[in-house]
Amino acid sequence: MPPSSSAAAAAPGLLGAAAAVAASVAVHLMLPAIPAMTLAVLLGLLAANLPGVAGWTAGPARPGLDFAGKHLMRAGIVVLGLKVSLGDVLGLGWAALLLIAAVVLAAFAGTYGISRLFRLPPRVSLLVATGFAICGASAIGAMAAVRRIRQEETVLPVALVTLCGTLAIGVLPLLARPLGLGAQLFGAWTGASVHDVGQVVATAQTAGATALAVAVVVKLSRVILLAPIVAAAGFHHRLGTMADGATRPPVIPLFVLGFVAMAGLRTTGWLSPEILDAAAALQDALLGMALFGLGSAVRVGQLLHTGARALLAALASWLLIALLGLAAAFLMFPPT
Q: How does pLDDT run across 200-209, given as a tens digit for each residue?
A: 988 998 898 8
Q: How does pLDDT run across 112-131, given as a tens digit for each residue?
A: 999 999 999 999 999 999 99
* 3-state per-residue secondary structure call for 248-273: CCCCCCHHHHHHHHHHHHHHHCCCCH
pLDDT at 30: 93
Q: How does pLDDT run across 223-265, given as a tens digit for each residue?
A: 999 889 988 887 777 776 655 555 555 666 788 889 889 999 9
Q: Mean pLDDT across the stretch 262-280? A: 93
Residue 93 backbone phi and psi in degrees, to 5: 95, 150
Does the pLDDT at position 318 exceed 80?
yes
Contact 207/143 with Cβ under 8 angstroms? no
Tally of CB atoms within 10 A around 109: 12
Among residues 34, 334, 84, 112, the alpha carbon closest in space to that of 218 is found at 84
Q: Which residues contact 191 (CB under 8 A, 6 or more apart)?
A: 200, 204, 214, 215, 216, 217, 218, 219, 221, 222, 325
Does the pLDDT at position 67 exceed 90?
yes
Q: Which residues contact 89 (CB under 8 A, 6 or more apart)?
A: 97, 217, 220, 221, 224
Helices 197-204, 183-193: inter-axial angle, 10-degree rounding: 160
Tally of CB atoms within 10 A around 239: 11
Q: Which residues contact 94 (CB under 8 A, 6 or more apart)?
A: none
